[in-house]
Each structure stands twice: as C-alpha cells, then as structure tokens.
Amino acid sequence: MTEARSAWMAIVAQALAAEFEARVPGQPAPKADELVVETPPDPAMGDLGFPMFAMAKVLRAGPAQIAKALEARVAAIPEASALGQAKAVGPYLNVSLARAPEIARVLAAVRSPGWGQGTSLAGKRVMVEFSSPNTNKPLHLGHLRNNVLGESVSRILAAEGAEVRKVNHINDRGIHICKSMLAYMKKGEGRTPEDEGLKSDHFVGKYYVLFGELKAEAKDIEAEAQELLVQWEAGETAVRELWKRMNEWAVSGIKKTYARTGKGFDLYDYESDTYELGRRFVHEGLAKGIFFKAEDGSVQVDLEDVGLDKKVLLRKDGTSIYITQDIGTAIERHESWPHDKLIYVVASEQQYHFKVLFEILKRLGFEWARDLHHLSYGLVNLPSGRMKTREGTVVDADDLIDELSRLAVAEIEAKGREDSVGDLAGVGEKIALGALHYYLLQTAPAKDMLYDPEASLSFNGDTGPYIQYMGARASSIIRKANKGEGTHVNGTPRPAKLESDADWALVRRVAAFPGAIEAAAAKVDSSIVANYLHDLAQDFSTWYRDNPVLANPDADLAASRLELVIAVRATFAAAARLTCIPFLDAM
Ligand code: ARG
C-alpha cells in the first residue's frame, strides 16, 4: 500500500497548495509527508482518509467545505484518475484506490525477495541483550517471556534493515552458583547428569533446591556458601574446577532449551569475565567527583536530584556489585561494537536498576547512554494449582513445553488428524511453541500476565494455533492446486479479477504487512506483528469460507485467487517467523 499511499499524499498536498493559494495567498500549505492519513472504518467509504480538521482555522472554512473543494481540485489533476478517486465524506477527503494496479503491485511485491522488509533502520546497529540467566538452575516461565520478546524484537529490527547483535549475558558467578556447588559437594558423590538421566541444567537445579533443604539440617550452610565464594574469588583450583563443571552442565542444558524453542545468540558474555570491568570506571568517576566515598568506605553515587536514591557502586572492601559489572559491560560493549541502541530485555523488577545504570553512564559522560533502553516485562503467572515443579514456586520451561506438546498431540488425536500432520510429535511441539509464543507476545510487555496453557492451545480464537491453522489452510489449497485439482489450470491470473470488495479487502490486509513491521520496529513492540497475524488469520478465514478458489467456475478468477492465496501464505510465513511462531503446512 505504501506506494499508492505516498502517491496520494502528494496529490492531496498539491490540491491543498492550490486551495491555500486561493484562500490565503502566501500562507504555506502542509507538505505531502506532513499530512495525516487514516484508514476509513468501512472499506466501502474508501481506502485512505485525509482529515481536514487541522486546516479549518488557517483556511477560515469548515472541514467539510474544505474536503468538498479538494474533491474538485483533485478531479482536475490529470494523473489522479489513474490512481483512483477522491471523494469528500463529511470532514474527510476519502480516496478509493484504483484496485487493479494496486493488486498487481502487491502480488509482485510479495513475490520479490524479502517481502515485508523495510529500510527504516538501514545502517543502524542495535544490540539486544536478552535471556541472561543465572547458572544455578534451568530456565523458567519468566525466561520464556523474556526470550520470545528478545528474539522477536531482534528479528523485527533486522527486518527493517538494522544490523542486530543478540547478546546473552550469563551470570555464572556469585553466591547462587556456590549454593548449587555446595549441595553437590555434600550430596552429589561425584555423580553426573548422565548417571541420573537428567538434562544437565535440571541436574544443577536439583542441587540448588537441595541446598534449600539442607538449611534445615546445617545451620551454617549459608556461611559455608559464602566461604566457597571467597575461595572461588581466590581462584582455588578444586573450587574453580567444580564451578567450571557445574556451569558447563547448566549452560549446555540451557542452550538445548534455546535450540528447542528457536532462540539464538551472536554472543555469550559471562559475568565471570566481566564482573571486574566496572571497577576502573567507578574509580575514575570518584576521582572526577561524580561519585563520593561514604563514611563506611563504600563508593556511592547520589542521584537524589533526579528522584533516585543514593546507590552503592563499590562495597567498603572494594568489591564490585551487580551494578558495577553492568557499568563496565555497557562501556566495553560500546567500545567493541559501537551501536546506535542497546536494548536490555529484563524483568520489570529491575526497573530501578536500569534507571540508575543509565543515569550513571550519562554522568560519566557517555553520549550513547541516551540510547540505552530497558525493555521491561512483567511476571507471568499460571492459573493456581497448575504445574507445580521441583522448586515448588517457579514453572520450569522444559516441563511446561513438554506439557503443552502433550496437550497439542492429544488435540490432534482427538480430531483424528494424525495422518494429515505426519510427524505427530514434531508438529505437536510446533503447535506448543506457537501457542506459547503468541500468548506471551500478544500482551503488552510491561504488564504482569496470567498464562493459561489450555486457552493458549485452543484452535479457535485469539491464539497461536488458530493462526497456524489458517496458515496450514492456505498451504493446503496451494498443495491441491499444484496437484492439478481445480479450474485454475485452464485460467490466467489477472489483477482486475480481484477487484470485488471481498478479494480487495484481503489484498489490503496483505498490503498492510510492511507497515506493521515498520511500526513494530519503531516502537520496539512485537505485539504489533502478532496482532497483524491474528487479523490476517481472521480475514483469510472469512474470505475462504465465502469465496471459492479452486472450485470456482470462472477459471481466470480461480487462477487469480490462487495467486492471492500464495501471497497470503507467504505473508503468514514471514510474519510468523518474526514472532517465533512455527509455520505449519499441515495440521
Ligand atoms: N542474570 C540476571 C537475573 O537473572 C539478569 C541480568 C540482566 N542483565 C543485565 N545486564 N543486568 O536476574
């Protein structure tokens, strides 16, 4: 739609300039790209709507009167008639696009490489940090929300031309991992994940839980864990060796979950490598008077003037803390890969942390600190009573996906569709991921949410599987057509055949895809693409129920509609990729 839209913006601007000249000579009229363009609520009213309210004051005329005058002026512009028709509708100048050329343009655009992708971020570099788990336990449901937000936003930014670097900052050091290690030292007896038949990150998580249980028996165990941390800091060989071993188990298990759910990273940072980076900058800030030394000897920053508190940056013993590490990492990242934006996908609990971090970096004089962005997301809860896990509180990511896959397979079996899906387990897992990812993306990130596994898996309604099902319907029509079923074999596709309101409405939905990606990238909001997919699914569903494709007695219409189905399928597949919803050809 973009091209026809900008052509019309130019025409309306030209008509407006003439109207300004006639009514208020010498007053500058709005330029084409300054015009507001809306979509009329009812397609019968037109495809584009130009509101005239803003012009009323300058032109000293009512908006409806202006719209009428513009209608006449547009009619006098020779190029306009080939592009469509403008009509005053109350205070709006509405435009009905010339359908056939627009249909031809859209169908050709879908077939060209990179359909939907834009250039609004061409030449920009964006780093997206997401997931960033701790290595004492496996991923949980909160990480699944984090991961799909990070992965999807990264894909959307890349689709707009940005060079994206996906970074995972693994927290592999600190007291939490010492706790898993200590429990293993006490009760592990040298066993391995293989010995126990456990996925290796679950194995590590088991010892973290065990640590909690050991507290009842051994009161000093917290102090022992602290002692272990001191030994780790001192680089004691045996401690370091066990630490390495357990981290490898944790990280390799976590990577399996990424692979299973279609997530990937360009770079893994490990906190054990980065945690000392920040100290130098804190010392520099202290020397410059940006920070101060408190009475107890700790180094602090006073952010009270911007409504944040005083914050410790180095403990009194000189050791660094969570934020020290983030200061250093941010600086190091920008040095090694200068970027236009860095997005941190991190839970909303850490909002204060990131406000403080960004403020400190600004005070240290880094211009780029203005382009740091915290993509904050809320908690994910399950309906009570469901999926209690080993730890009793958090929902394990792998267990949840296993459960969803089981439910999806049961649904396929209940519908008796085992034969048409082929690989039952594989398709079940893809439906599970479609259900999960769509549900998680659809809610605005900042809000806490309730994840309802059964509702998310429904094949009807506002769900991932419904979208996947509609995509599969499109594929199935194409499959039949390729087998020679249908009247299209004797027909020729012609854009003009798709000028009916029903076909046109679907063409317009397809045409809106690039705009949805561009808006999602500009707002760093994947839900725009997720919602677009749902609209596409609904429009396609209504359309194909009422409008025969292959069985159409008009061979040219059948061939033309088949082209439209091919465009719809390509759009489903591309939008699904951006939202991490596996596309299915059959289900
Ligand atoms: N590992 C941290 C946690 O699990 C999240 C790290 C977020 N990223 C950052 N750069 N601080 O809470």
Helix (H) or strand (E) segment spanning residue 347: strand 341-347
Residues 61-111: pLDDT tens digits?
Answer: 999 999 999 999 999 999 999 999 999 999 999 999 999 999 999 999 999
Ligand 1 atom 6: residue of nearest CA: 132
* Strand partners of residue 87: 94
Residues 354-395: pLDDT tens digits?
Answer: 999 999 999 999 999 999 999 999 999 888 655 544 445 578
Q: pLDDT class for 552, splitting at 50, 70, 90?
A: very high
- Spatial CB neighbours of 311, under 8 Å, sequence gap ≥ 6: 300, 301, 303, 323, 356, 360
Same domain, yes or no, for 146 and 182? yes
Q: State the pTM of this model.
A: 0.94
Residues 424-436: pLDDT tens digits?
Answer: 999 999 999 999 9
Distance 399 CA to ligand 1 centre (A): 23
Closest CA to 36 of 92, 74, 85: 92
**Which among 376, 391, 406 is the end of a domain?**
391
Site of tokens 């419904």: 466
Which CATH number fits the domain that encloses residue 361? Answer: 3.40.50.620
User: In ligand 1, which atom is closest to the CA atom of 349?
Assistant: 12
Q: Which two tokens stand for residue 57?
A: 């004051």
CA–CA dist 195, 193 (Å, integer): 5
Q: What is the reported pLDDT for 512?
A: 94
Distance 344 CA to ligand 1 centre (A): 9
Closest CA to 121 of 522, 432, 469: 522
Distance 60 CA to ligand 1 centre (A): 58
Which CATH number fits the domain that encloses residue 92? Answer: 3.30.1360.70
Whether 79 maps to a domain, the answer reads yes
Q: What is the reported pLDDT for 389?
A: 46
Averaged pLDDT, 458-469: 95
- Spatial CB neighbours of 235, under 8 Å, sequence gap ≥ 6: none
CA–CA dist 172, 85 (Å, integer): 63
User: In ligand 1, which atom is closest to the CA atom of 357?
Assistant: 11
Q: What is the reported pLDDT for 310?
A: 94
Distance 347 CA to ligand 1 centre (A): 8
CA–CA dist 565, 506 (Å, integer): 10
By the 8 A CB rule, do 269 and 329 touch?
yes
41 class by beta-carbon count within 10 Å (0-12 exposed, 13-18 middle, 19+ buried)? exposed
Main-chain dihedrals φ then ψ at residue 470, nearest 5 degrees: -65, -40
User: In ligand 1, which atom is closest to the CA atom of 171?
Assistant: 1
Domains: count for the chain: 2
CA–CA dist 364, 520 (Å, integer): 32
Same domain, yes or no, for 146 and 263? yes
Same domain, yes or no, for 284 and 363? yes
Distance 257 CA to ligand 1 centre (A): 18
Instruction: Compute the Cα dihedral for 548, 551, 552, 558 and give only its sign.
Output: positive
Whether 219 maps to a domain, the answer reads yes
CA–CA dist 188, 211 (Å, integer): 11
Polymer length in residues for the chain? 587
Residues 108-143: pLDDT tens digits?
Answer: 999 999 999 999 999 999 999 999 999 999 999 999
Ligand 1 atom 11: residue of nearest CA: 326
Closest CA to 73 of 47, 102, 65: 65
Q: What is the reported pLDDT for 390?
A: 44
Please say if the pLDDT value at position 176 is more than 50.
yes
Whether 499 maps to a domain, the answer reads no
* Strand partners of residue 51: 92
Same domain, yes or no, for 256 and 367? yes
Residue 65: domain span: 2-97
User: In ligand 1, which atom is closest to the CA atom of 353?
Assistant: 11
Residues 253-281: pLDDT tens digits?
Answer: 999 999 999 999 999 999 999 888 899 99
What is the side-by-side order of every strand in the sheet holding 341-347? 267-270, 163-170, 125-129, 341-347, 372-377
Q: pLDDT class for 30, splitting at 50, 70, 90?
A: very high
Distance 322 CA to ligand 1 centre (A): 9
Q: Of the residues 169, 177, 349, which should be mutated to test ligand 1's pocket, given the most ligand atoms within 8 Å of the CB?
A: 169
Whether 489 maps to a domain, the answer reads no
Q: Which two tokens stand for residue 35?
A: 């015009």
Q: What is the DSSP string of 58-94?
A: HHTS-HHHHHHHHHHHHHT-TTHHHHEEEEEETTEEE
Same domain, yes or no, for 204 and 312? yes
CA–CA dist 108, 231 (Å, integer): 65
Same domain, yes or no, for 134 and 193? yes
Same domain, yes or no, for 145 and 69? no
Q: Which residues line ligand 1 (CB under 6 A)?
A: 129, 132-134, 169, 171, 326, 344, 346
Distance 92 CA to ligand 1 centre (A): 50
- Residue 267 three-state SS: strand
In 189-340, beta strands by DSSP E: 267-270, 292-293, 299-302, 310-314
CA–CA dist 103, 109 (Å, integer): 10
**Which among 82, 97, 112 is the end of a domain?**
97
Whether 227 maps to a domain, the answer reads yes
2-23 vs 63-75: helix crossing angle, rounded to 10: 110
Q: What is the DSSP string of 236-296?
A: -HHHHHHHHHHHHHHHHHHHHHHHHHT---SEEEEHHHHTTHHHHHHHHHHHTTSSEE-TT
Whether 501 maps to a domain, the answer reads no
